């Protein structure tokens, strides 16, 4: 047993001074002030610290084959880095081969993830449509604990799905009580812009944002909202990076449609000036999709989080080292897309969100943990309450660290926040009651993570079904 004594417990709905008793089974036994120390119990002094639910990152890509490379953080190194930063669970993406079996891909990802140091769940991508996909979505939802599916509207010729696939898949997910995630960029427009830029001799990383301007994201976001509206299905838009997409989500929500939006910590604080670097590698290291945006978009993203129109924060953690990025030396369309971030998300949001005055500590907890647990049906996570998993971060709001690839734990040779000094750090991280990080000492255990099986009909879909019984009276369609 462990007793966390004398800290301020911060949940999404309020803060209180209380002790937290964690059982040997990794579950929270009691939250109350002045708890007695049971015999044989370890005591963690949380004086001056905040005791918060461990972060949940709803969007990671560990050891993912993508664009001719495999992302360099595997399920052990990536989740261990997350624990160092206060993140105790991830939701990663199973990516089946186009035309391949969703269930076989899910099994492959289960195998890869056995080494994870933190808990993990999976969204499964739908990359084409046929009878088998229809059937396997049912198997995954009923028997495999998968309650969310992913769709890429971009990456033409690889992962991209058209509107027909979206309609079929969103409708099937709705039937199953599952939630659809969407990467919203118009992939046809991106492919056309890429070819046009290459033909004009623009081959470097600066052409990457030019090939995917904000309108490309805005259009796709609006389109998938309209598609989901036809069916009355809730949807979740990943990595919202523009004011255009934020406005589309806000409009839909105001019209009564259940649309959720996720923001990456990276997009909140890094802008598109990174692509102007004279250093090719530095610019290439920032190639991700959607790309970094002109600064004014950041204001819309913060406003979206503050107003609750955007509900979660993630990292899209997808690392590629220099030799991998070099695949695109002569052609920006071949630079593997992705940036790291799992280790720094919580600190970036505390420093630039809470300390900067945008967010309260309770809102910080909601957007780093509780909302993700609720939207994706991770019922034992996201709260410091009796019966919940003892996934807990003892947060030092005053501790400071300067980020560097030289000292981070991510298995990648750069850090997009290099040189940024952040105040607000994970002092101690407990993963189901076990100390995985304490004052700079990483004690993550290979294989300690468990698969989080989620019931279909997680709260987002349940709520909608209760409200609408098959048809949304407020649908914009
Ligand atoms: O650039 C990115 N985001 N890479 C990972 C794949 C995706 O689009 O999420
Ligand atoms: Zn994406
Ligand atoms: Zn992603």
Q: Residue 205 carries which DSSP code?
A: T
pTM over 0.75: yes
pLDDT of residue 145: 97
Q: Ligand 3 center to residue 238 CA distance, Å?
A: 8
Closest CA to 43 of 83, 3, 81: 3
Measured distance CA(298)–CA(267) in Å, rounded: 7
Ligand 3 centre distance from Cα of residue 14 (Å)? 31
* Tokens linked to 126: 């739908």
Tokens for 57, please give them.
């990152």
Give the Å distance between the CA of 263 and the centre of ligand 3: 11
- Integer-rounded Cα Rg, in Å, for the chain is 21
Q: Is 58 in the pocket of ligand 1 (CB under 6 A)?
A: no
Residue 5 beta carbon below 6 angstroms from any ligand 1 atom: no
Residue 384 Cα distances to 7, 14, 49, angstroms: 12, 11, 15
- pLDDT tens per residue, the chain (477 residues)? 999 999 999 999 999 999 999 999 999 999 999 999 999 999 999 999 999 999 999 999 999 999 999 999 999 999 999 999 999 999 999 999 989 999 999 999 999 999 999 999 999 999 999 999 999 999 999 999 999 999 999 999 999 999 999 999 999 999 999 999 999 999 999 999 999 999 999 999 999 999 999 999 999 999 999 999 999 999 999 999 999 999 999 999 999 999 999 999 999 999 999 999 999 999 999 999 999 999 999 999 999 999 999 999 999 999 999 999 999 999 999 999 999 999 999 999 999 999 999 999 999 999 999 999 999 999 999 999 999 999 999 999 999 999 999 999 999 999 999 999 999 999 999 999 999 999 999 999 999 999 999 987 655 566 555 555 455 555 544
- State how beta strands 179-183 and 148-152 pair: parallel
Which of 318, 332, 335, 336 has most ligand 1 atoms within 8 Å of its beta carbon, as the pocket-test mutant? 318
Residues 6+ apart with CB under 8 A from 135: none
Cβ of 338 closer than 6 Å to ligand 1, yes or no, is yes
pLDDT confidence of residue 467:
53
H/E run at residue 145:
none
Query: Ligand 1 mean position to 315 CA, how many Å?
Result: 10
User: What's phi and psi for 258, nearest 5 deg?
Assistant: -90, 95
Please state, in angstroms and rounded to a whole number, the distance separating the CA atoms of residues 182 and 222: 12
Alpha carbon of 470 to ligand 3 centroid (Å) = 30
Whether residue 243 has a cis bond before it, omega within 30° of 0:
no
Residue whose CA lies nearest to ligand 1 atom number 9: 316
Q: Pick from 316, 320, 342 the residue to mutate for probing ligand 1's pocket: most ligand atoms within 8 Å of its CB.
A: 316
For residue 385, the model assigns a pLDDT of: 98
Residue 332 is predicted with a pLDDT of: 98
Cα separation, 244 vs 216, whole angstroms: 9
369 closest CA partner among 3, 2, 95, 12: 12
Residue of 183, 335, 337 to test ligand 1 pocket, by largest number of atoms within 8 Å of CB: 337
For every residue of 1-23, DSSP letters joined together read: -EEEEEEEEEETTEEEEEEEEE-
């Amino acid at each position: 047993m462990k007793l966390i004594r004398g800290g301020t417990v911060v949940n999404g709905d309020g803060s209180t001074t209380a002790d937290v008793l964690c059982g040997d089974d990794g579950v929270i036994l009691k939250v109350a002030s002045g708890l007695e120390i049971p015999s044989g119990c370890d005591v963690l002094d949380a004086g001056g610290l905040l005791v918060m639910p461990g972060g949940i990152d709803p969007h990671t890509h560990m050891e993912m084959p993508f664009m001719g490379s495999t992302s360099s953080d595997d399920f052990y190194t990536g989740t261990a880095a997350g624990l160092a930063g206060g993140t105790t669970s991830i939701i990663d993406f199973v990516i089946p081969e186009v035309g391949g079996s969703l269930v076989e891909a899910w099994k492959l990802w289960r195998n890869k993830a056995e080494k994870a140091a933190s808990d993990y769940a999976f969204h499964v991508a739908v990359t084409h449509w046929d009878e088998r996909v229809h059937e396997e979505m049912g198997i995954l939802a009923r028997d495999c604990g998968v309650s969310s599916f992913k769709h890429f509207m971009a990456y033409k010729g690889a992962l991209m799905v058209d509107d027909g696939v979206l309609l079929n898949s969103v409708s099937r997910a709705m039937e199953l009580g599952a939630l659809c995630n969407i990467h919203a960029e118009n992939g046809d427009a991106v492919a056309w812009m890429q070819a046009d830029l290459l033909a004009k001799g623009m081959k470097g990383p600066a052409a990457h944002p030019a090939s995917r301007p904000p309108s490309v994201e805005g259009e796709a976001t609006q389109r998938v909202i309209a598609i989901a509206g036809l069916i009355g299905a809730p949807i979740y838009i990943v990595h919202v990076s523009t004011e255009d997409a934020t406005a589309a989500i806000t409009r839909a929500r105001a019209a009564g449609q259940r649309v959720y939006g996720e923001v990456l910590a990276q997009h909140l604080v890094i802008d598109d000036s990174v692509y102007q670097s004279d250093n090719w590698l530095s610019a290439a290291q920032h190639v991700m999709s959607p790309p970094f945006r002109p600064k004014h978009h950041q204001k819309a993203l913060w406003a979206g989080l503050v107003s609750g129109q955007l509900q979660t924060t993630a990292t899209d953690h997808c690392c590629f080292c220099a030799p991998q990025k070099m695949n695109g030396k002569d052609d920006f369309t071949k630079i593997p897309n992705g940036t790291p971030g799992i280790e720094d998300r919580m600190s970036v949001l505390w420093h630039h969100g809470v300390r900067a005055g945008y967010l309260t500590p309770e809102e910080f907890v909601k957007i780093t943990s509780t909302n993700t647990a609720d939207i994706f049906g991770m019922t034992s996570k996201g709260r410091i309450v009796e019966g919940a998993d003892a996934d807990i971060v003892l947060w030092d709001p005053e501790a400071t660290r300067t980020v560097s690839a030289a000292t981070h734990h991510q298995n990648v040779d750069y850090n997009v926040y290099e040189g940024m000094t952040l105040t607000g750090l994970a002092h101690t991280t407990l993963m189901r009651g076990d100390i995985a990080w304490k004052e700079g000492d990483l004690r993550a255990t290979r294989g300690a993570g468990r698969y989080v099986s989620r019931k279909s009909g997680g709260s987002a879909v349940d709520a909608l079904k209760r409200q609408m019984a098959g048809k949304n009276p407020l649908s914009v369609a």
